[in-house]
Every structure is written in structure tokens, then in C-alpha cells.
Amino acid sequence: MTSRVLPIGSDVLDELRKCDDAGREPQVRVEDDAYGQPLRCCLRRSRPGERIALVSYAPLRRWARDRGVDPGAYEEVGPVFIHAETCDGPESPVWPEAIRGTRRVLRAYDGSGQIRGGCLLDGNTELSERTADDLLLDPEIAVVHVRAVEFGCFLFEVRR
């Protein structure tokens, strides 16, 4: 199976740059850290001098709305970094090496937005793609979210 790695969609990013999912204005700053922040718009790390924004994002909100389902308590809102202005998106549709990390949680959601499984990858995220694909082999799983362990933040989603 070939899965697709998806950043936050450009239409959603446009909304978040005006008002985030918690109803706040984005916190914009110029990146000064050489290591950078994981950007959910283009799935790479920010570079010194780039304008980035910290926003609250609900990863299941629009997905569930488009399917006419209610994810209930799983409609979490959490912090993510994005470019403060429109960017070109990911350079490639494959697993983003720049934000792979060493510890990740994969959460599997069914078609109604309920968590149906998951996996902790601690120290061996080379298995991330295969693990996401394995979770998506279950026909009840509609989407897999990849999150950072340390902060719990949403990084990107994986679909069939």
C-alpha cells in the first residue's frame, strides 16, 4: 500500500493565519534558532530569519465536518508552527525526514473520528512509514495522525 503524507491544507492555513482554532490571533516571530521549529505547512524545519507563527490547530475538526461526523472529545486543539505567510508546501509527498524525530506517536482514527489504535515509536522512527501503512491496512481506519511524544503536538497526517 502507498500512503500519502499530508501537511495542513493551504485553505486551512489561510484561516489559521487570520485566527487560529482557539479563536486567537497567531503569535508571529522571526526564527532565531538554527535548529528551527517543525513547520506543519511544508513539513520541514524553520530557518533563521523566516517569519513563523505559533497557532492553535484542531487536526480532526475540518476532516470530521467534511464527513458529517462528530469526533467528540477527540477534537483536540494544540499548538503548531506554520509559516506566517503562504509557502510552497512540502517539497516531496514522502515521509518528511526533516521532522522525523526520534520519538513519535501514531494515532489511528476511524471514519467517525474516534481513536481505534495507535503506536509508540521510541528511538526507531525508521519504522514510521511501515507502521502507518500497517495501521491503514485495517479498513476501519480512515486516517493516522503523527505526533511528537515530548509535546504531544500534531505533526502531519497519513492517509491511503
Residue 7 has pLDDT above 80, yes or no: yes
pTM: 0.93
Lookup: cell for 154? 500534531
Average pLDDT score over the chain? 94
pLDDT given for residue 20 in this prediction: 98
Identify the sign of the CA torsion 60, 143, 44, 150: positive
The per-residue pLDDT for 124 is 75
Q: For residue range 47-72, what is the model confidence (pLDDT) as tens digits?
A: 999 999 999 999 999 999 999 999 99
Does 150 have pLDDT greater than 80? yes
Rounded mean pLDDT, 24-32: 98
Break the chain into its structural domains and give their ranges.
4-159
Residue 44: pLDDT over 80: yes
Per-residue pLDDT tens for 100-113? 888 899 999 999 99
Per-residue pLDDT for 1 more than 90? no
Interatomic CA distance for residues 151 and 117, integer angstroms = 20
Look at strands 51-57 and 78-83 and give their pairing: antiparallel
pLDDT at 126: 75
* Nearest of 153, 129, 151 to residue 8 by alpha carbon: 153
Compute the distance between CA of residue 50 and CA of residue 55 in angstroms, rounded to an integer. 16
